[in-house]
Amino acid sequence: MLGLLEFGHLSYDNEKLINFLIEHGVLTNIIKCSNCGNDVNICKETLTYKCNKRYVLKNVYKKKISKCCNFLRSARTGTWFHNSNLDVGTICRLVACFLMLQHPRQDRTQVETGIASPTTIVDWFNFCREVCVFWPEKHSQKLGGPDCTVEINEAKIGKRKYNRGRLVKGQWIFGGYEQVSKKVFVVPVENRTEQTLLAIIKEWILPGTTIVSDCWKSYDCLNNEGFQHLTVNHSYNFVDPDTGEIC
């Protein structure tokens, strides 16, 4: 299995990257021409499908005329890369930054990807977060039990107008992650009150679980509800932002 660092390096080799994306179903190698039904291979240099099949027509004078199909379509249409002006390699490096950094930073990502616009990075990170919510919503399952540790957190996710630009409407979501099995659950919530979150925790996390959360006050009751509760204070830096040394 390819690691994230290896994937980051792969993104600088266009041919190998395109082959990787085709192999994993992100891009399609061959499609049917919508004009003539011919099989059309992807052009890996331009990321297009172009049909050059020739066929014969008869004009009003019953003369045979040879014509070319001239079907042309972008291979990015309908994929993760659709409607973006960034090249595929840059987008893949941006996604790798999002996945590798526990708390993705704009300045670090700008250096790694060469993207000058902070807004572009924010938009793509929001897009990645939306995908990270969409998939678990479809695969959520109960977590935990004795000797199991589950991390929980809440976040506000929104949708972008026309899938572009800044987030315009927010939705609180709440989720958990079981460290050993890597099982997850994610559900939308109306608010982050103790009553709301505790009801969801009891529904999705089994009694006796060790729960790790931030210091949000709604979690203060967990030790009295059949769970062992541990907290992490995210207001402190684990790495010094100036020296890079571990605190």
Mapping DSSP onto H, E and C, the string for 114-128 reads CCCCHHHHHHHHHHH
Same domain, 139 and 66: no
24: burial class by Cβ within 10 Å (0-12, 13-18, 19+)? exposed
More confident residue, 232 or 176: 176
For 206, what's the count of Cα atoms within 13 Å in the CB-facing half-sphere?
Answer: 12
pLDDT, tens digit, 9 for 90 and up, residues 50-79:
998 887 766 656 677 778 888 999 999 999
Q: Can you give the pLDDT at residue 233?
A: 74
Query: Average model confidence (pLDDT) for the chain?
Result: 83
Whether 151 is in a domain gets the answer yes
Residue 187 predicted with pLDDT over 70: yes
Q: Can you give the pLDDT at residue 168?
A: 44
Residue 32 predicted with pLDDT over 90: yes
Whether 81 is in a domain gets the answer no
Whether 93 is in a domain gets the answer no
What domain count does the chain have?
2
Order of all β-strands in the sheet with 71-74: 30-32, 39-43, 48-51, 71-74
Same domain, 139 and 53: no
More confident residue, 126 or 243: 126
Whether 80 is in a domain gets the answer no
Domain ranges, residue 56: 4-74
Task: Report the C-alpha gap between 70 and 148 in whole angstroms.
Answer: 59
Same domain, 139 and 210: yes
Q: Can you give the pLDDT at residue 61?
A: 67
- C-alpha distance from residue 231 to each of 56, 96, 212, 216 (Å): 73, 28, 6, 9
Q: Can you give the pLDDT at residue 165?
A: 43
Q: Taking residues 31-48, what's their average pLDDT?
A: 93
Q: What phi and psi, each to the nearest 5 degrees, are found at residue 11? A: -65, -15
Three-state DSSP class for residue 75: coil
Same domain, 62 and 139: no
Whether 116 is in a domain gets the answer no
Question: How many beta carbons lie within 10 A of that of residue 49, not counting itself?
Answer: 23
Whether 89 is in a domain gets the answer no
Residue 100 predicted with pLDDT over 80: no
Whether 15 is in a domain gets the answer yes
> Which residues, 6+ apart, have CB-to-CB distance to 33 below 8 Å?
39, 40, 49, 51, 53, 69, 71
Same domain, 147 and 217: yes
Whether 239 is in a domain gets the answer no
Q: Can you give the pLDDT at residue 20?
A: 94
